[in-house]
Amino acid sequence: MKNRKPILLTGCTAIGKSKLANVLAEKIPSIIINADALQVYDCWQILSARPTAIEMELNEHALYGHVSLLETYDVGQWLTEIRIVLDEAKQANLRPIIVGGTGLFLSLLLSGIADIPPISKSTRLKSNNIRKSTPIQFLNDLKKVDPEVLTNIDNANIARLQRAWEVFHETGKSILTWQKISLPPVLKITDVIPIVLYTNKDILVSSINKRFKKMVSMGVVDEVKKVLSENDVRFSELGAFKAIGFQEICLFLENKLNANELEDAVTIKTRQFAKRQRTWFRNRFGSWNQLEIPKDNKIKKIIERIDSII
């Protein structure tokens, strides 16, 4: 494995990306860089399936668990940070292995992003209050100040309406105007080795079920309980609390779900998320190298296939 081009490694949740990244990193000096929107948060070691401290000691890692649960964090911030990490990796002669299942992060890494100014905490707080109380206000306000944007987004998608409202409120300009001003991509597709992992549906479902059982044994319920005891975040709109399993574990702690119901609820939602990921990868990453995880899940076989691609 002499080729030192950055490896982009993605695939559905619970498919084994982090484990594979560590094995790849052992072949030549590498740095494993997170591309998962939830593994950036410091509060979710178990819930986000972030690599453990032991796993992170095996090889250099970056952009894991470095963001406070009470902070907003988006793809623009991730792109800014990964530029710095890639520069440092080049200086240290480390091969970057960028691994994660957040398709938007990886897509914009290669295509660039609109140069939209960051949203201030005061604007975000105001918009979150509107979303909780009278979300129809986003639509009504945009009809008055930025009607053109409503012809370009789903008017029933509250998140998209909120984003458009925030940008106009913050900058006085339509998000459409800012989207015409693009920053260049961080990496070019020709300069990386892009890999999508996939596997048989039954194998993935089994993996999802096993992973949640492992999370429970590792103390995921106590992890959520600790966060709740230290912060008033039960119904928070912050990104950290969009983690699959957070709301379900809250219901379990409130005695509204029993243990079996909790497991069913989380694994069903995880399978639904994996389905959306497969659709994204199929539509956006069809030109990437498609690598099937064999039924026996032998790491040696997977590495041999990756070596053939590289």
Residue 2: what pLDDT?
57
In contact, 58 and 26? CB cutoff 8 Å: yes
pTM of the model: 0.87
Domain count, the chain: 2
Verify that 95 and 22 share a domain, yes or no: yes
Q: What is the CA radius of gyration of the chain?
A: 20
Asked which of 132, 163, 180 is the last residue of a domain, the reply is: 180
Note the pLDDT of residue 1.
47
Beta strands 193-198; 289-292: pairing state = parallel
How many angstroms separate the CA atoms of 122 and 100, rounded? Answer: 31
Could you tell me which residue, 114 or 37, shows the higher pLDDT? 37
Q: pLDDT digit string (tens) for 232-278?
A: 888 777 889 999 999 999 999 999 999 999 999 999 999 999 999 99
Domain hosting 129: range is 116-180
CA 81 to CA 216: how far, in whole Å?
32
Question: What is the CATH number for 169?
Answer: 1.10.20.140
Q: Are residues 67 and 163 in the same domain?
A: no
Q: What is the DSSP string of 162-194?
A: HHHHHHHHHHSS-HHHHHTSEEPPSS-GGGSEE
Residue 13 confidence class, pLDDT cut points 50, 70, 90: very high
Instruction: Output 298 or 98, whichever has higher pLDDT.
Output: 98
Cβ neighbours, 10 Å, residue 116:
20
Average pLDDT for residues 104-127, to the nearest whole number?
A: 93
What's the pLDDT score for residue 3? 64
- 180, 206, 226: which is the final residue of a domain? 180
Among 129, 153, 180, the domain boundary falls at 180
* Gap between the Cα atoms of 165 and 174, Å rounded: 9
Q: Pairing between strand 30-34 and 193-198?
A: unpaired
Task: Judge whether 245 and 257 are in contact, CB under 8 Å.
Answer: no
One domain for residues 274 and 295: yes
| Mean pLDDT score, 187-211 | 95
Residue 233 domain flag: yes
Please compute the mean of the pLDDT values over residues 10-25 and round it to a whole number.
94
Q: Which CATH number characterizes residue 222's domain? A: 3.40.50.300
305: helix, coil or strand?
A: helix
Per-residue model confidence as pLDDT tens digits over 49-101:
999 999 999 999 999 999 999 888 989 999 999 999 999 999 999 999 999 99
